[in-house]
Amino acid sequence: MFGLAVGVVIVSSVVGGAIADRIFGFDTLDSWLPRTSVGANGQKVLVEESVTIDIAERVSPSVVTVSVEFPQREVMGFDFFQGFTSRFEGGKPQDIGSGFIVSRDGLIVTNKHVVSVQGAIYKVITSDDKEYEVTDIKRDPANDLAIIKIDLAGAGQVLQPVELGDSSNLKVGQYVMAIGTALGEFRHTVTTGVISGLGRGITAGSAFEGYVEELDDVVQTDAAINPGNSGGPLLNSAGQVIGINVAIADGAENIGFAIPINVLKEALNHFETDGSFASKPFLGVEYQMISKRSAIVNEVPEGAYIASVVAGSGADKAGIKEGDIITKFGGEDLNEDNNLASAIKKKKVGDSVEVELWRGEETLELSVILSGSSE
């Protein structure tokens, strides 16, 4: 089970702009001096502990586990002693991520990368161990968000939504709590920490696994976030969601990241009106940025190396191919300080953009029309 827990690791990170939560300002930290109270059973409980316990008890019923079941398929293999063999993979649900309830009628928020496999069967497990089949998924690839709908018909259960906070006034040092299915195994794991940084820009994912995504203005925290926590809530001291846990730093301890909740609130407003996420400019490629050092070593230009092209996309129609290196996009040089995702975000759906790319020893100029991306 551990192997399937969904968690995004960081390939690299840079400092971006500033974001900031008005609920628990820095000044209120003065009130967190160690004090004790006596519980009903006579056990002494620190005030800090009572806050954590209260939040965990109130919010846990709103946090869910997301499981996936892949269609069963036969996999052929070869063994030196037994010759050709076969085994079956899939067909068994496994916990892979987390999410939280945002409406009483069955809308749940998670990360897009948690529910990214087309054709898979996804289910949601609530805190009372009831399972619900996911009937619809709307994805926002640009922000790594997804809204999933579960079927409550005949369930006789009223869901308890979370309370959404405000991420426009967050402070470094502010208390936070994370709840989720750690390692895809331990449901409703509670961890605490502080906000370690704001306005981080990260490159999340793995080029070796075929996907990389750029996320701007994310919140850094030292609250323990593990694979399987993806999509779960990051909470303030009032028990309000101020972020969606999304990534951890590879090879480091106590460095996790969350998408600010205001990004979700904006997306939810559009979703409630149109039933989908707002359309974003879409080029239609998977890529990996080539660093200056890599460019020198491999004798290629800096830019975005194209790993794959989406069939029928603007990139495909313009003639961009796998193995190309895009060096300029809309007149802007692409490099470590200005990646392709950032350049695309500055454009609008329907824009015609001039692209300069390197193919072999040849430099080409193409015109690409950006389509809209919303799932």
Pairing between strand 8-15 and 241-249?
A: parallel
Please choose, from the candidates 53, 19, 91, 84, the residue with its C-alpha nearest in 3D space to the C-alpha of residue 239. Answer: 53
In angstroms, the Cα distances linking 307 to 36, 44, 207, 278, 310 are 57, 58, 9, 26, 10
The residues carrying an active-site annotation are 113, 144, 230
DSSP 24: S
> Residue for token digits 């990004």?
263
Query: Residue 304's closest CA among 352, 356, 260?
Result: 356
Residue 344, phi-psi category: left (phi > 0), alpha (psi -120 to 50), beta (remainder): alpha
Question: What DSSP assignment string belongs to 241-272?
Answer: EEEEEEEEETT-SS-EEEEEHHHHHHHHHHHH
Q: Are 258 and 230 in contact (CB under 8 A)?
A: no
- The set of residues, in sequence order, having a beta carbon less than 8 Å from that of 188 and lying 6+ positions away, is 60, 63, 127, 179, 180, 181
